[in-house]
Each structure stands twice: as C-alpha cells, then as structure tokens.
C-alpha cells in the first residue's frame, strides 16, 4: 500500500461543545472535490487529545462513510498507553479505516526496544497498516531512523512514517535505512517539497485544510517532473504555512476555516483557546493575500 500525495490532517468542527457532524461531512466532500489524495481524522489538528474514545470512533466512522472509498482514510489511533492504542486501533479498523496513524508514545519516553514492543503488541491484536508518527516536539522523543528500522523489521504492519522533525538529513536517512519502497510522509508543511526530493511520497498536512488543491497539485507536479510548477506552489503556500503556526496548531487553521466560511465558528476545547485578538488581523491579511478570502 502506498500513501502517495497530499493527505489532510482534518480539523474537527464543534458547535455548542459537540461535534458538528453536518459541517464535518461537508468539509470532507469539499476536500475531495478540491483534489486531496487522502484524509486523516483524529490527529493533532483534529484535537484528538480532547476527544473521548466514543467521539473518536464516531469521527472516524463519519469520515469513512463520507469518503465513500473515493480516497484513503488514515485514522488517528495512537496513545502513550499500549492497551489504549490497541482499543483505538480496533475502533479504527471496525470503522473501515484504511490505516492507522500511530504516534510514538508521549510523556513516558520508551526505549527503542519499548517502541518495538509497543507496535508489536498493537499489531498482534489488530492487523492494520500503520503510519508511525514521529513528532518529537509533541512527544519528547525523536524516533531515529535506525530505531524506525527496528520497528519496520519487527512489525510488517508498519509501512510508513509521518516525519515531523523538519530535519531533512534525518528524513533522507529513513529511506537509506528502510528502503526506497518505504512510505516517507512529511508531517511538516515547511519542508514538503525538499522531503519529496529525498525520497518522500507525500504529506499529512495542516495547511491543506484550507489549501487542499495547492498541496495536492504541488505533490502531483513534483511526481510529474514539473519542478518549476511545484516550486511555485510551495512558495505560494509558504506564508500561509507560517501563519498556521503563529500559535499552537490547530488554533490558526481552525480560525482560518471559520474566516473562510467553511466552519460556522472556531470553537475549541480547553486547554486550547481562541486565537489571540492581535493575531486575527494578521491571519486575515495572509489569507487575503493568498486569495483565500
């Protein structure tokens, strides 16, 4: 299985503190109409950390139902508790997800062997393709390429990595260690294009929530050897990428979705709060310049 192209780490709309199912279904349709290559519900951008397991299962089911097989769905199903990750992965499989996004366990900082045993235990209970998610800024642990290779060798389900270090040397070593057929995905919108150049096959993106066409077109242009067109799209997205991280993700991107009228509001669950007032005109200016407003 190959995860080629641009996948959106979907934002989750809320209304009155609850999941806005209608808005979510409309958002999924819009993403697919805009040419996105795949969808990732219940990741960091989807505020999975504040969802109950029941809500997480419901969101994945909605996403799979609404996608209707038009694009693959990689469901967020990771945890720092192996037992919990098994339950979430089973939920993702039962909902019909094509793969599970599995974050390296956060806070408890397992050893390399602990990581291997964590993913082996999940796979032993639930056989589903895994995208390992390496995001040391969130987890406090950097999954080095040699240690990823240990996981890949021990767990056939581990067929991809979402590499969110922004370190191109490390990304290149993933391909060196795991081979050219391994799925290297960018988890860092700032470095998608150069990551493709060192052997990547795509991206799980934040900015594609609001610019799905641009991100999918950039990936397609690169794979069609239209490097000038790919560079132009990368440069077009660059200021928007920066704006999406002016505060903690997903605060800016959800605010942008509300400004664009795709979501009814930019509602968050604590401990996340609304974008600071002084940043709202800055975000609006960037979106206007990019032709999104």
Active site residues: 133, 162
Cβ 106 vs Cβ 139: under 8 Å: yes
| Secondary structure of residue 205 in the 3-state scheme | strand
Count of helix runs (H) and strand runs (E) in the chain: 12, 10
Strand-pairing partners, residue 7, are: 38, 204
DSSP strand E in 127-274: where? 130-134, 158-163, 183-186, 202-205
Nearest-angstrom CA–CA distance, 256 and 236: 17
By 3-state DSSP, what share of the chain in percent is helix, strand and coil, each rounded to 5?
50, 15, 35
Cβ 102 vs Cβ 89: under 8 Å: yes
From 239, 238, 230, select the one nearest 200 (Cα to Cα).
230
Strand-pairing partners, residue 205, are: 8
User: Would you give the end-to-end CA distance of the chain in angstroms?
Assistant: 37
Nearest-angstrom CA–CA distance, 181 and 1: 10
């Amino acid at each position: 299985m190959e995860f080629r192209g641009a996948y959106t780490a979907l934002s989750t709309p809320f209304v009155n503190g609850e999941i806005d199912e209608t808005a979510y279904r409309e958002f999924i349709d819009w993403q697919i109409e805009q040419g996105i290559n795949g969808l990732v519900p219940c990741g960091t951008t989807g505020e999975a950390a504040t969802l109950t397991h029941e809500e997480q299962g419901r969101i994945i089911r909605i996403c799979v139902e609404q996608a209707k097989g038009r694009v693959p769905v990689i469901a967020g199903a990771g945890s720092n508790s192996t037992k919990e990750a098994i339950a979430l992965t089973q939920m993702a499989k039962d909902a019909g997800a094509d793969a599970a996004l599995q974050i390296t366990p956060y806070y408890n900082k397992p050893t390399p062997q602990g990581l291997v045993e964590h993913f082996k235990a999940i796979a032993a209970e639930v056989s589903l393709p895994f995208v390992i998610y390496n995001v040391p800024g969130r987890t406090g642990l950097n999954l080095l390429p040699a240690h990823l290779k240990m996981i890949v060798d021990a767990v056939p389900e581990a067929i991809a990595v979402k590499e969110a270090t922004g370190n191109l040397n490390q990304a290149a070593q993933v391909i060196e260690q795991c081979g050219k057929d391994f799925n290297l995905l960018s988890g860092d919108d700032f470095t998608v294009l150069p990551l493709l150049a060192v052997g990547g096959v795509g991206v799980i993106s934040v900015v594609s929530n609001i610019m799905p066409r641009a991100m999918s077109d950039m990936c397609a242009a690169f794979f069609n050897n239209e490097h000038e067109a790919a560079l132009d799209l990368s440069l077009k997205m660059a200021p928007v990428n920066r704006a999406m991280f002016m505060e903690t993700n997903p605060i800016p991107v959800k605010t942008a979705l509300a400004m664009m009228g795709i979501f009814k509001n930019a509602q968050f669950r604590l401990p996340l709060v609304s974008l600071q007032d002084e940043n709202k005109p800055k975000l609006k200016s960037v979106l206007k310049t990019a032709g999104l407003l």
